[in-house]
Amino acid sequence: MNTNITSTLSLFVLLSWAMTLRADHNRLTVNLALKMASEQQVLVQRIANTYVALCYNKRSAALYVERTNSIEKFDAYFSQLSMFIPNDRVKEYIQSVRGKWQAYKKIADWTIKKEAVYDLLIKLEDLAYATRKLHASYQEYAYSIDPKNISLATTNQYIKLITHQQILLERTVLYHLVDRQEIADVEDLNIYHLLQTTKATFLRSLFVLEKSNLPSKDIGFKIAEIKSGWNRLEKYLEPNQISWNDVQALLIRTAHLRELMEELFESYKVDTAYMLE
């Protein structure tokens, strides 16, 4: 009798342990999927930036390397995400991203031509929407397997805001570089208006972070650094004709801001298990 009880208890412990391992595995996988899906949203914008920057100087080896690295990183992330499809909603947006990425990549990873920029921007909007929906579908799944993370909503809203800022930074630089060149058909997109709107949205999101209940002084310092870096960057966003030297200076400032924003992102993420909306 005692032996049977012991065996039953042992089996129960083993099953509980196995279920815990499975839950931990799911948690890790979801966390990684969310991070990759988030970074993909930034990468698609950055690839367009690099393409348009190359229109100013088609001999810049550094920019070709940056374009290749960004494309390869997107491909690597998507390959891994394609192997983690927990439900039909994720499957739907994996398929959507796959098709739109292929169409975008045909332009972005090909010969640099000013006349291709219009089509690149159109494909970019389609892909940006698809990557955003894919990220949201992983978030929904994360909530469904561990609802307790809803309690992290406030912190995760700030994480989402920082990701959005990263996208806005890339868009700001992209629109400025496009606006300063004479590119066929692009005037139909009202790029200057998009530039001004994007800049204003970035500043509003920065204001929200500044006025939020900051978890630490370190995060406050990082937000102040980003604001200072943005103010320096704006000097290169004047509506004047720009040279290749101006483009290089702008890209250096942009790279510095990227680093600061990534540091801020990681600081907010420290105490959270997931990156949720």
Question: For the chain, what is the mean pLDDT?
Answer: 84
Backbone angles phi, psi at 194, to 5 degrees: -60, -40
Q: Is residue 230 part of a domain?
A: yes
Q: Per the domain annotation, does 150 fall within a domain?
A: yes
Q: Report yes or no: 255 and 138 within 8 Å, Cβ to Cβ.
A: no
pLDDT digits (tens, 9 = 90+) for 161-186: 888 999 999 999 999 999 988 776 78
pLDDT at 18 over 70: no
Phi, psi of 182 (to 5 degrees): -90, 100
The pLDDT > 90 percentage for the chain reads 61
3-class secondary structure, 55: coil
Q: Domains in the chain: how many in total?
A: 1
- The predicted structure's pLDDT at residue 197: 95
Report field, pTM of the whole predicted structure over 0.85: no
Q: Is pLDDT of 65 > 60?
A: yes
Residue 248 has pLDDT above 60, yes or no: yes
Q: Is residue 142 part of a domain?
A: yes
pLDDT in tens, 44-55: 999 999 999 999
pLDDT for the residue 183: 76
Nearby residues of 38 by Cβ (< 8 Å), 6 or more positions away = 135, 163, 275
In a domain, 20, yes or no: no
Reported as a single tens digit per residue, the pLDDT across 217-243 is 888 899 999 999 999 999 899 877 789
Q: Is residue 14 a part of any domain in this protein?
A: no
Within a domain: residue 13? no
Distance CA 222, CA 184 (A): 40
Tell me what pLDDT residue 25 has.
42
Instruction: Enter the tokens of residue 253.
Output: 């400032």
Read off the pLDDT of residues 115-131 as tens digits, 9 standing for 90 and up: 999 999 999 999 999 99
Within a domain: 209: yes
Residue 4 pLDDT level (bands cut at 50, 70, 90): low
Is 158 a member of any domain? yes
Range of the domain at 79: 28-269
